[in-house]
Amino acid sequence: MTRKKVLVTGGAGFIGGNFVQYMVDKYPQYDIYNLDLLTYAGDLTKHRDIETKENYHFVKADIADHEAIIPLFEKEKFDFVVHFAAESHVDRSITDPGVFVRTNVLGTQVLLDAAKQVGITKFVHVSTDEVYGELDFDPTTFFTEETPLQPNSPYSASKASSDLLVRAYHETYGLPINITRCSNNYGPYHFPEKLIPLTISRVLNDQKVPVYGDGKNIRDWLHVIDHCAAIDLVLHEGVNGEVYNVGGHNERTNLEVVKTIISILGKSEDLIEFVKDRLGHDKRYAIDPTKLEQLGWKPTYTFETGIAQTIEWYLDNKEWWEQIISGEYQNYFEKQYSM
Ligand code: NAD
Ligand code: DAU
């Protein structure tokens, strides 16, 4: 088989980082290029086990920097692009939307231009179910690929805008693209500003866990490795121009998630603290993954097996998350939760 060059943007972050490790191990015949700006959400310590492998490469760059991205594509002539790099936290988008537009919208357009210029084989744009807006609590309703885009937060609006640009490059220039829209991920290397790792790290430190509003909002959780396998499948088998939803039917209220973690760790529910609700807080997300299942995907984790594995990982890798929460993160936490 001929060697392929795969550019993974955002490969120092949570999902991109798991995907880089998955690809480096699974495809020794591919060269995996991890391109990342190393913002607060990116770190390379997670790649210590693969950094000396011959098929792993790292490039520090800003996806919105046209002057850096175009020459890189001209030099390397990537075959595949898998685009994760983004500002990803909804709460941060509510306090500072500007950087979300720059990275998520402009950054995607710069990558699309570069991909068009060198004639790549496939561009997979990793998007989110949040572009569909919210569902009500009727458990028979789901997001399908036909659900209209109705993003409610600056984060999801920026992701929906990038989805539309990706679609437009396919329609206008025939760029071979796919868009994936996944539900909430969890698993190793999840940054502790998000609900699950925030809860695990705070419960382990006997600190209060902030639950927004009444805790009844619902998210549909998927283990990050099942997401990686879905993207791998779409990269190789996805029909050009198509959108694929990714989700494993694991709906839980936020309160159920927090109580499950507290119970596995053998701590008291007195640690739960109800705090002011998130502005524009989406009620419920739930994915219909039928189209992706027809392509051959099926998740390997249930929520129960996945959350147990994830808690184990956080217990075994305290060094990784303790180093994060002891730094600049503390200022973020004070500011975010004093509002
Ligand atoms: P993350 O915040 O953990 O990681 C984002 C990475 O992108 C970081 O390594 C960061 O340094 C890098 N980055 C940010 N701005 C950059 C720039 N201008 N140039 C280059 N690199 C930059 O995010 P995540 O949770 O891993 O999400 C990855 C992607 O998956 C995002 O596009 C997100 O919208 C999507 N997604 C996330 C979830 C989820 O539950 N986390 C679910 C569905 C889709
Ligand atoms: O659905 C996919 C999306 O999932 C991704 O596109 C986003 O990048 C990712 O961050 C995630 O968004 P959410 O807003 O759903 O994830 P978060 O972990 O921030 O919040 C999950 C739920 O928990 C949500 O209903 C808000 C609530 N929450 C969150 C935090 C951080 C709390 O109750 N307390 C908290 O402190």
Q: Which helix (H) or strand (E) holds 201?
A: helix 195-204
Active site includes 237? no
Confidence check: pLDDT of 1 > 70? no
Q: Is the CB of 166 under 6 A from ligand 1?
A: no
Q: Which helix (H) or strand (E) holds 264?
A: helix 254-264
Nearest ligand to the CA atom of 224: 1
Confidence of residue 53 (pLDDT cuts 50, 70, 90): very high
Give the N- to C-terminal CA distance of the chain in Å, as an integer: 56
Report the atom number in ligand 1 closest to the C-alpha of 62.
Answer: 19
Confidence check: pLDDT of 64 > 70? yes
Active site includes 155? yes
The average pLDDT across 105-117 equals 98
Q: Is the CB of 291 under 6 A from ligand 2?
A: no
Active site includes 285? no
Neighbouring residues of 48: CB distance < 8 A, sequence distance ≥ 6: none
Q: Is the CB of 88 under 6 A from ligand 1?
A: yes
137: β partners: none
Q: Is the CB of 289 under 6 A from ligand 1?
A: no
Largest distance between two CA atoms of the chain: 58
19 neighbors 124 (Cβ within 8 angstroms): no
Closest to 235 measured CA to CA, from 297, 156, 323: 297
Share of the chain above pLDDT 90, in %: 99
* Residues 254-306 pLDDT 10s: 999 999 999 999 999 999 999 999 999 999 999 999 999 999 999 999 999 99
Instruction: Classify 226 in phi/psi space as left (phi over 0), alpha (psi -120 to 50) or beta.
Output: alpha
Confidence check: pLDDT of 322 > 90? yes
Confidence check: pLDDT of 112 > 80? yes
182 neighbors 299 (Cβ within 8 angstroms): no
- Ligand 2 center to 91 CA (angstroms): 8
The average pLDDT across 50-54 equals 97
The average pLDDT across 52-64 equals 98
pLDDT of residue 278: 98
The average pLDDT across 46-55 equals 98
Domain map (residue ranges) of the chain = 4-191+220-250+286-304
β-strand pairing of 218-223 with 251-253: antiparallel
- pTM score, two decimals? 0.98
CATH of domain 4-191+220-250+286-304: 3.40.50.720
Pocket test for ligand 2, best of 209, 212, 262, 273 (most atoms within 8 A of CB): 212
Nearest residue by C-alpha to atom 14 in ligand 2: 90
Nearest ligand to the CA atom of 190: 1
pLDDT of residue 182: 98
* Residues 152-200 pLDDT 10s: 999 999 999 999 999 999 999 999 999 999 999 999 999 999 999 999 9
Residue-averaged pLDDT of the chain: 98
Tell me if residue 93 falls in helix, strand or coil.
helix
Question: Per the structure block, which two tokens stand in for 114?
Answer: 């570069």
| CA–CA distance, 138 with 122 (Å, rounded to integer) | 37
pLDDT of residue 327: 84
Q: Is the CB of 126 under 6 A from ligand 1?
A: yes
pLDDT of residue 2: 75
Confidence check: pLDDT of 130 > 90? yes
Pocket test for ligand 1, best of 7, 21, 39 (most atoms within 8 A of CB): 39
| CA–CA distance, 109 with 148 (Å, rounded to integer) | 22
Catalytic residue, from 31, 129, 226, 251: name it: 129
* Residues 205-225 pLDDT 10s: 999 999 999 999 999 999 999
- Ligand 1 center to 12 CA (angstroms): 9
* Residues 20-40 pLDDT 10s: 999 999 999 999 999 999 999
Pocket test for ligand 2, best of 104, 195, 224, 336 (most atoms within 8 A of CB): 195
